Amino acid sequence: MNNRPQLIAYADRLAGSVAGVTALLDGPLAGAFGGVHLLPFFLPFDGVDAGFDPRDHCAVDPRLGTWADVRALAQGRTVVADVIVNHISVQSEQFRDVRAHGEASPWSPMFLTLSSIFPAGATEADLARIYRPRPGLPFTAMTLGDEVRLVWTTFTADQVDLDLRTAESWEYLDSVVDALVAGGVTQLRLDAVGYTGKEPGTNCFMTPATDEYTRRIVQRAHARGATVLVEVHGHHTQQIDIARTVDYVYDFALPPLVLHALTAQDLGPLDHWLQIRPANAMTVLDTHDGIGIVDVGPSALRPGEPGLLTPGQIDALVEAIHANSGGASRLATGVAASNLDLYQVNCTFYDALARDDRRYVLARVIQLFVPGVPQVYYVGLLAGANDMELLARTGVGRDVNRHVYTPAEVTSDLDRPAVRDQLEALRLRAAHPAFDGSFSWVVQATRAWLTWTAGAHRAELSFDVADASYSVTSTDDDGGQVVVLASQPGR
């Protein structure tokens, strides 16, 4: 089945290397996953943005392995890898040449400066309109050749934006796609693609140019036998629109809606989302980033359109996360932490639910029953708590959810009840034929039933968010019904 669950993992933080990830998937995680999103393993994997600032996007960092290791990982499973579309490291060979030679460099057209988009200069209104995920303007003063220029740096001063209007940028992106596909990658995740379409007179986010660039990359991927997953945080209607033109989008609305259901005992917003959400989605509870809030709220990106949650419900949800995490998420979010994102709360999903195993497993099973391809982040799989020591060392808020596991920790955590139950549910989701069929659901007050059927095959989750009781049942090979997982209040 091409909708089997996928693991999301940094090779170094979970298993030490690409080969280590393969060993886990073939060993203690066997049968649970049909694919893996291998978070940036390029050179270097440990840059200022955890690998999303590659110096060489076409090379595997030798500390993690080789392209042969990636191809071995791809045997019998889908490998997802990032095409970092919007930017490249200031330490890349191309940009270092531009810094040395300015406009005389053959790579000069590849990079954006303020004057690239505003050749006649930008007004205050032009600059104030630009959408950015972090405070301040997206420009950094740098010396290029013998001139000081304002270089476009959407995310950090170490990540310089590409000008996708130029042939040089497309030659670069083609080389990245070719290297990934040759290395065994069959699904390309377009990172930060929403920021690529800078156009004067717009907010420079999700513009018509963005749509055109996305189509061009999708065409290139399909010509090489790969599919495309687009990563965009924004108003939920934007995900619905994007889903019509690409292979997969993320269901970033699902995590806060599940948290709202379990903390406010309210299934209404989740019920509404199930009615309108795109089916060609990657479902997640947690990722290497924070828990998205913009994905369920009203947004300046779609003025006048309501969110899936009201501002009051969002405020209550954020405060519930802070309370459940003992205040740790507050220390890791917003102005309290560097590399902040304005639209996310930094917290592990386990801590967001107060380390309550019953509610946590229920959240995971809800995810696994929602249509789409489930992706499970490595920290979430191991029911990880916020890593406050790592946060203290780096000062980067998202590091609370990026723990570096030792082999002993992995072995120990795999034996925890919350982890064993997740793996049981994942193996059901990966193998049971009912999930190739049709999905239906019923919501009655705080109770719900999520059901998959394919002929005589059936799998059902029934649960109550008032007390987090749940039952997972499925048909067996003989057509009988068996209880896969069950929990009652107080257990």
pLDDT tens string 374-425: 999 999 999 999 999 999 999 999 999 999 999 999 999 999 999 999 999 9
Indicate the domain borders of the chain: 6-86+167-432, 93-161, 436-487
Comparing 45-49, 126-130, 334-338, 461-465, the range with the smallest average pLDDT is 334-338
Assess whether the region 6-86+167-432 and the region 93-161 belong to the same CATH fold.
Answer: no
| Chain-centre distance for alpha carbon 100 | 36
Task: Say how many C-beta atoms besides its own lie within 10 A of residue 146's C-beta.
Answer: 7
In the set 82, 161, 231, 341, the catalytic residue is: 231
Q: Report the residue count for the chain.
A: 491
Of 1.10.3720.10, 3.20.20.80, 1.10.10.10, 3.40.50.300, the CATH number of 6-86+167-432 is 3.20.20.80
The pLDDT tens digits for 223-241 are 999 999 999 888 999 999 9
Considering only CA atoms, which of 192, 212, 194 is closest in space to residue 203?
Answer: 194
What is the structure's pLDDT at 477? 86
- The alpha carbons of the chain give a radius of gyration, in whole angstroms, of 22
CA distance 458 to 435: 8
Q: Does the active-site annotation cover 231?
A: yes
Residue 336 has pLDDT above 70, yes or no: no
Residue 1 has pLDDT above 50, yes or no: no
Average pLDDT over residues 27-34: 98
Comparing 19-23, 102-106, 138-142, 301-305, the range with the smallest average pLDDT is 301-305
CA distance 25 to 398: 25
317 and 260 in contact (C-beta within 8 Å)? yes
Q: What are phi and psi of 437, to 5 degrees?
A: -100, -135
Q: Does the active-site annotation cover 478?
A: no
Considering only CA atoms, which of 457, 262, 220 is closest in space to residue 365?
Answer: 262
Residue 123 has pLDDT above 70, yes or no: yes
401: tokens are: 């959810």
DSSP 8-state code for residue 156: -
CA distance 256 to 270: 9
In the set 191, 289, 421, 460, the catalytic residue is: 191
Q: Which amino acid is at 75?
A: Q
CA distance 228 to 241: 15
Under the banding of pLDDT at 50, 70 and 90, the label for residue 215 is very high
HSE of 65, CA atoms in CB hemisphere, 13 A:
22
3-state DSSP percent of the chain in helix, strand and coil, to 5: 40, 20, 40
Residue 261 has pLDDT above 50, yes or no: yes
Considering only CA atoms, which of 21, 60, 25, 20 is closest in space to residue 40?
Answer: 60
464 and 447 in contact (C-beta within 8 Å)? yes
Quote the mean pLDDT of the chain. Answer: 94
Considering only CA atoms, which of 414, 431, 458, 364 is closest in space to residue 14?
Answer: 414
Task: Specify the CATH class of 93-161 in words.
Answer: alpha beta
DSSP 395-415: -BGGGGG-----HHHHHHHTT
Please report how the helices 254-264 and 311-324 are oriented relative to each other, as an axis angle in degrees rounded to 10: 80
Residue 134 has pLDDT above 60, yes or no: yes
